[in-house]
Chain A
Amino acid sequence: MLDTTWSIETPEGITLDLRVAGPIVRAQAWLIDVMIRTAAYISLGIVLAMLGRAGMGVFLIVFFLIEWFYPVCFEVLGSGQTLGKRVMGLRVLCEDGSPVSWSVSMTRNILLTADFLPLAYTAGLLSMLLTRHFQRLGDLAAGTLVIYADRPLESKAMEAIEPLSSHVHLGLAEQRAIVSFAERSQTLTTERAQELAELAVDITGATGAEGFHRLKRIAAGLRGAP
């Protein structure tokens, strides 16, 4: 298995697998957030400039609030996703799998200042590369992770097909691979599916469309009848 998974043991005694997100994706999400914030500042600035000096004061206050509390509010109220993270499909979680609370989110975002030093998030980047689960300094101190908010794999129901038992002994990994391939094959093009099925020519004994069909029959046999 990949080593970028984090396993949590829940109180019910099972382990949940989370995929941890690396620095490049997080940097992209951060960039999107910066652009959104800049757009907000510009539009607010234009509106408030009409109110003169008092408007400038309000603008500074709003700037302060957005700068420090935009990530916090979104992470707590938006189920761990700021707008940039939502676009990139990421989510912030505590290390035990529970959603972030106010104080945890504030800790991790105030320590963003420390991650920024000495310049342009060098400390944060180093920390992400050196820790096992891509945690920057704010994540380490607050006990949070950024994971991929996965959407389940698309798998339509497999069509009814006459099962075939393989005359070659299949190990466990091979059985899993065949069944997964059969489930995935509906999202592939026919040519690609046949090309992949040719890798199993020793098992199916045929190539091309016939090999693909036989592989699907073997997978149906492994899955069992409904």
Chain B
Amino acid sequence: MKQQRFESLHGTRWEALQEWLDPKRGSKPAAEDLPHLYRQVCHHLALARRRHYSLALVERLNGLVLRAHQRIHGARAGLTGLWIQYALRTFPRLVRTEWRLVLLSALLFYGPMAGMMLAIQARPASAYLVMNPMELANIEDMYDPAAHKIGPARHSDTDLMMFGHYIRNNVSIDFQCFATGLFFGLGSAFFLVFNGLVIGTVAGHLTHVGLGGTFWPFVSGHSALELTAAVLSGAAGLRLGVGLLLPGRLKRLESLKVAARRGMRLLYGAAFMTFTAAFIEAFWSSTTAIPALTKYIVGIALCALVLFYFLALGHGQTEEAAS
């Protein structure tokens, strides 16, 4: 069949599909025979290719079929019930499944932290291995007990501004920790160790200098959430790296894609925890009006809550966890 006859025979069908894709103003496109129409146009595209009709015709049909394919196969399921399911079941279960990487991430993070704190107790000058004297002096200023509000940039006395600052800072660190895991996990490991060293230096130095009375109540409120979230982001990044290094039975690229999906699931939860920690840090931790004992109690309660959440939730049903 020649091209001209082909076009005149089937042109109305293509126009019907075009009409369904781009309905004119005010008209409702009829979609009763849409599956049949779509398959017909697919068939016409295959014919046009096979019979080597002109490029304009093939491109036109290709475009039509591509757009219809996206509309038909691209419908997404609603997300509403998914969040609750994620929070109560998927997230804790995922963390337990990846316990080896979480443990490794925790070692890379808490290890240097504890190490620096002990080193500073033994020899105070080791703080200068990590930070220079000017930075340490700045930090000492931040935690001056005579300050009205504790924490960075103490000349600002608006909690909302600090909330914004903590969100931008901490969640970006989480995302960085995750994304750099793409380089075979080395980037994540580096960031975990680095952040652990810095936090350990700050904690150890302030305790040594005698400002522990302001520092520990400040961090006790939000540290359970924030440090756990950092460890989980690092674990998500390590998951990416492990996916590249140990593909198992999959092709390396496929293994990376699977690892990226699992890592992102961890990251959602970690980002939400950091968000909450930023909220607590801005609006609760920095007030000097609340006595230290209250802050310690709240901090320990949050710690216990986090442990309970990850150890006890999500058991029960033995449904298959989708990868």
Give, as a whole number of angstroms, the nearest-CB distance from A202 to chain B.
21
Chain A residues near B42 (CB, 8 Å)?
10, 12-14
Q: Does A122 contact B (CB under 8 A)?
A: no
CA gap between A61 and B172 in the complex, in Å: 12
Shortest CB distance A45–B (Å): 13
Taken together as a complex, chains A and B put the C-alpha atoms of A112 and B187 apart, in Å, by 14
* Contact (Cβ within 8 A) B156 A64: no
For A147, the closest partner residue in chain B by CB is B66
Determine the residue in chain A with the shortest Cβ distance to B256: A141
> B59 touching A54 by the CB < 8 A rule?
no
Name which residue of chain A comes closest to B63, CB basis.
A152
- The answer on a CB contact under 8 Å between B2 and A223 is yes
Check A11 against B167 for contact (C-beta < 8 Å).
no
When C-beta atoms are compared, the residue in chain B nearest to A65 turns out to be B167
CA of A224 to CA of B51, assembled, Å: 13
Please tell me which one of the listed residues A68, A172, A224 contacts residue B5 in the complex, with CB atoms under 8 A apart.
Answer: A224
Within B145-192, the residues touching A (CB, 8 Å) are 156-165, 167-168, 171-172, 175-176, 178-183, 187
A89 part of interface (Cβ distance < 8 Å) = no
On whether the beta carbons of A68 and B62 are closer than 8 Å, the reply is no
Q: Which residues of the other chain, A, contact B69 by a CB distance below 8 angstroms?
A: 10, 16, 97-98
Interface pick from B70-78, B92-100, B195-203: B70-78
Determine the interface band of chain B, counting residues with CB < 8 A from chain A.
35 or more
The SS class assigned to the A binding surface is helix
Interface presence of A206 (CB below 8 A): no
- B172 — nearest CB in chain A belongs to which residue? A64
- A209 CB to closest chain B CB (Å) equals 23
B168 and A63: CB pair below 8 A?
yes
**With contact pairs A60-B167, A110-B267 given, residues A152 and B59 touching in the complex (Cβ less than 8 Å):** yes
Residues of A within 8 A of B59 (CB): 150, 152-153
- Which residue of chain B is the closest to A79 with respect to CB atoms? B70
Of the listed stretches B136-144, B212-220, B224-232, B257-265, name the one at the interface; the rest are far from the partner chain.
Answer: B257-265
A106: Cβ under 8 A from any B Cβ:
yes
- B167 near A64 (CB under 8 angstroms)? yes
In this assembly, does A175 line the interface, its C-beta being within 8 Å of a C-beta of chain B?
Answer: yes
Q: How far is the CA of A53 from the CA of B164 in the complex (A)?
A: 11
A224 and B261 contact, Cβ closer than 8 Å, known pairs A18-B66, A54-B158, A110-B175: no
CA distance A63 to B162 in the complex (A): 14
Mask, A85-120, CB within 8 Å of B = 1, is 000000001000111011100110011111001000
Contact of A64 among B54, B157, B171 (CB under 8 A): B171
A179 to B69, CA, bound (A): 29
Say yes or no for A57: interface residue by CB 8 A criterion: yes
Q: Mark A139-150, 1 if CB is under 8 A from B, else 0.
A: 011110000001
Does chain B have a CB within 8 A of A58?
Answer: yes
Tell me if B209 counts as interface (CB < 8 A to partner A): no
A residues in contact with B165, CB < 8 Å: 57, 60
Determine if B79 is an interface residue (Cβ-Cβ < 8 Å): yes
Whether A141 and B158, one on each chain, are in contact in the complex, defined by CB atoms closer than 8 angstroms, is: no
Q: Could you tell me the distance in whole angstroms from the C-beta of B75 to the nearest C-beta in chain A?
A: 9
Q: Are A150 and B63 in contact (CB under 8 A)?
A: yes
Q: Is the CB of A16 within 8 A of B62?
A: yes
Q: How many angstroms from the CA of A32 to the CA of B38 in the assembled complex?
A: 36
Q: Do B5 and A153 have beta carbons less than 8 Å apart?
A: no
Q: Does A28 contact B (CB under 8 A)?
A: no
Q: Assuming the A-B contacts A103-B264, A141-B182, are A53 and B76 also in contact, with contact meaning beta carbons closer than 8 angstroms in the complex?
A: no
Q: A101-B76, A152-B60 are in contact. Are A223 and B4 (CB under 8 A)?
A: yes
Find out whether the CB atom of B60 lies under 8 angstroms from the CB atom of A12.
Answer: no
B253 within 8 A of A: yes
CA–CA, A163 and B4, complex, Å: 12
List B contacts of A21 (CB < 8 A).
Answer: none
Asked whether any CB of chain A lies closer than 8 Å to the CB of B240, the reply is yes
Report the Cα distance A63→B253, complex, angstroms: 33
Nearest opposing residue in chain B for A53, CB measure = B158
In the assembled complex, A56 has its CB within 8 A of some CB on chain B: yes
B77 to chain A, nearest CB (A): 9
| Residues in B neighbouring A142, C-beta threshold 8 A | 257, 260
Q: Are A98 and B164 within 8 A (Cβ)?
A: no
The answer to whether the Cβ of B46 comes within 8 Å of any Cβ in the partner chain is yes
The interface residues of chain A lying within 8 Å CB-to-CB of B13 are none
Q: Most chain-A CB neighbours within 10 Å: which of B38, B42, B46, B66? A: B66
Name the residue on B nearest A142 (C-beta): B260
The answer to whether A103 touches B261 (Cβ under 8 A) is yes
Given A140-B256, A153-B59, A223-B2, 5 more contacts at CB 8 Å? A79-B70, A107-B260, A179-B54, A180-B55, A225-B5
Complex A-B: 18 CB contacts under 8 Å: A10-B73, A16-B66, A18-B66, A53-B157, A53-B158, A97-B66, A98-B74, A110-B178, A111-B179, A113-B176, A113-B179, A114-B183, A140-B253, A150-B63, A153-B59, A175-B52, A179-B3, A222-B2
